[in-house]
Amino acid sequence: MKTYTYPKSQELFQRAAKVIPCGIYGHLSPAPLIPADAYPFYASRAEGSKFWDVDGNEFIDYMCAYGPMVLGYNYKPVDDAAARQYAQANCVTSPGPVMVELAEKLTDVVSMADWAFFAKNGNDVTTYATMIARKATGRKKIVLIKGGYHGVAPWTQTYGHHGVMEEDGQHTIRIRWNDFEAFKKVVDENPGDVAGFMATPYHHPTFVDNEMPLPGYWDKVQALCNAKGIVLIVDDIRCGFRLDIRGSHEYFGFKPDLVCFCKAIGNGYPISALVGTEALKNDAAKVFYTGSYWFSGAPMAAALKTINEMEAMDAVKMMTDFGENLKKGLIEVAANHGYDLKVTGHPAMPYLRITDDPTLMLHQDWCAECTKRGAFFSSHHNWFVSTAHTQEDQERTLEIADDAFEAIKKNKE
C-alpha cells in the first residue's frame, strides 16, 4: 500500500517556525505526533469525514479537529445557517435574537439546564464555572481529578509547567478518579472551604486507558456535594453531545449544578456554553465575565442548527454504532496479526492501545503507519467519530490497519 510524504508541510513548518512560536503551538503542535515525519502538519481542505493536506494526501479523520467536527466538515445545513446570520449581523454592538434562541434551545435539550451563557473556548466556561462556584459559596477550594484536562489557564495546570506559579494552584486540590473516599477526605479536611468539584463525565486523560465511573460513583459525589453545599461541575467539553444529546450526566444518571460545553456544539464554529440550574442563575449574573467576540451571531446560528440536526438524525446512536463496529473490526484485525488491541472509553470517542508493548512505542509506530496510509490516528489521545463517517470509511480503515500491522511486524524483523 502506498505511503504518504509531506514535503510541502515540512516546508511550511520551516517558514512558520521563523514567525510563530513553536511553528504550530498548543495541541496541534507536531510534538505529540510520534514520529513527527509520519504526520501532515497543514491541511488545505476538508469535506465530510476527510481532510486533505497541502501535499494533496487524503485522510479519513479520526480526530475530528480534536472534537469540534461532529456532523462532518463543511456540513452544508450548518454552514448555510451561519452564512444567513453573517449576511444579517455577526459581531455587532448589540447581540442578536439568535442568542436568545440558542439559550432557549439548550435549556430545552439539556436536562438540568435553566439558563445558558456563551463564550468561545472550553477553558472560557470552565473558568467561569469555578468563579460562579466561588461566588455562590464564598469558598476558595476547587477539587479536580489528577490527569484531568480543563484548559490551559494557570489554575488548570500544575506547578512546573512553564509560566505557571506555585500560587496559581494554591486553592486547587487534585484527587484520583473514581476515589470517592479521597473526595470525602478532602471535604472533611477543608470544612466549609470547598467551593466546587469539577470532573469530566468519565476519565479521558492522555497516554493511558480511559476509565468509566464505578457503579454509584457519581451518585455518591452528587449526594456529598448536595449535603455540603458544594457546586458540582461537569466538564462536558469533549463528551458533550456524543454520549447523550441531553448532556453526558444523563448517560451516567446524575444531576450536576453546572455543565460546560464546547467542541461538538457548533460543528467547528467558535462557541462554548455554560449551562446551569436556577439556584445559580443570580450568582452567574453577578460574576462579570465577557469577551470581545462572545456575542457573535454566526457561531450561535451554527450551534443552533448543529443541535437541531443532531436531534433529528439521532447523531448519538449513529456515532455509537459506528464506533462499536470500528472497535470490533480493529480488534479483530490486530488479533489476526497476533496483537492485543485494547479499546477503552465510549465508542464515539475511543482510546486505543496495543498492550503488547507497555512503552507505547509499538502503538505509536502503528498509528504512524496508519496515518501514512490515509487513516489519521493519534497514539496518545482519545479519537473522535462523527455522523459523517461511513461504512466505506470503516472498510478502508480496516484495510489500512491491516497493512500497517504488517508493516510494523516487518520493521521489527
Q: In 3D, which of 293, 287, 248 has the Cα closest to residue 271?
A: 293
Question: Once rounded to an integer, what is the mean pLDDT over residues 209-217?
Answer: 98
pLDDT value at residue 31: 77
Structure confidence at residue 279 (pLDDT):
98
pLDDT of residue 35: 85
Q: What pLDDT, in 10s, does the model give residues 265-285?
A: 999 999 999 999 999 999 999
297-to-84, 99, 270, 284 alpha-carbon distances in Å: 10, 7, 11, 22
DSSP state of 260: E
Question: Is residue 35 packed enough to be buried (19+ CB in 10 Å), middle (13-18) or exposed (0-12)?
Answer: exposed
Q: Which of 213, 242, 412, 237 lies closest to 319 in space, CA to CA?
A: 242
**Please, which residues bridge with residue 47 across strands?**
50
142-159 pLDDT, tens digit per residue, is 999 999 999 999 999 999
In the Cβ-directed half-sphere of 113, how many Cα atoms lie within 13 Å?
Answer: 26
Strands 351-354 and 341-344: antiparallel
What dihedral do alpha carbons 253, 64, 211, 331 form, nearest 10°?
Answer: 120
Cite the DSSP H helix spans in 62-138.
Answer: 76-88, 97-109, 122-137
CA dist 321 to 67, 185, 242, Å? 18, 40, 12
Domain at 76-313: CATH code: 3.40.640.10
Residues in the chain: 413
Residue 148 phi, psi (nearest 5): -75, 155
Q: How many CB atoms lie within 10 A of CB 261?
A: 29
Q: Where do the structural domains in the chain lie, given as residue ranges?
A: 7-61+315-411, 76-313
C-alpha cell at 317: 446512536
Pick the CATH number of 7-61+315-411 from 1.10.357.10, 3.90.1150.10, 3.60.21.10, 3.40.50.720: 3.90.1150.10
What pLDDT was estimated at residue 215? 98
pLDDT tens readout for residues 301-334: 999 999 999 999 999 999 999 999 999 999 999 9
| Mean pLDDT score, 202-209 | 96
Give the tens place of pLDDT for each residue, 109-146.
999 999 999 999 999 999 999 999 999 999 999 999 99
- The answer on pLDDT for 34 being more than 80 is no
Largest distance between two CA atoms of the chain: 66
Rounded distance between C-alpha atoms, residue 159 and residue 314, angstroms: 43
Q: How far apart are the first and last CA of the chain?
A: 19
- Contact status, residue 5 vs residue 18, Cβ threshold 8 Å: no
Distances in Å between the alpha carbon of 250 and those of 22, 190, 229, 323? Answer: 40, 30, 22, 20
Cell reading at 77: 445545513
Cell of 229: 453545599
Q: What is the mean pLDDT of residues 241-257?
A: 98
Say which residues have a Cβ less than 8 Å from residue 17's Cβ, sequence separation at least 6: 23
The burial of 119, by beta-carbon neighbours within 10 Å (0-12 exposed, 13-18 middle, 19 or more buried), is given as: buried
Residue 36: what pLDDT? 85
The identity of residue 34, as a single letter, is I
Comparing CA positions, the residue from 355, 333, 334, 335 lying closest to residue 344 is 355
What is the average per-residue pLDDT within 56-69?
98
| Whole-angstrom distance, CA of residue 128 vs CA of residue 132 | 6
pLDDT of residue 412: 78
Residue 18's contacts (CB-CB under 8 Å, 6 or more residues apart) are: none
User: Which of 29-33, 49-53, 120-124, 161-165 has the least mean pLDDT?
Assistant: 29-33
Are 251 and 233 in contact by the 8 Å Cβ rule? The answer is: no
The CA-based angle 319-397-266, given to 5 degrees, is: 35
High-pLDDT (> 90) share of the chain, %: 96
What average pLDDT does the chain have? 97
How far, in Å, CA of 132 to CA of 231, rounded? Answer: 9
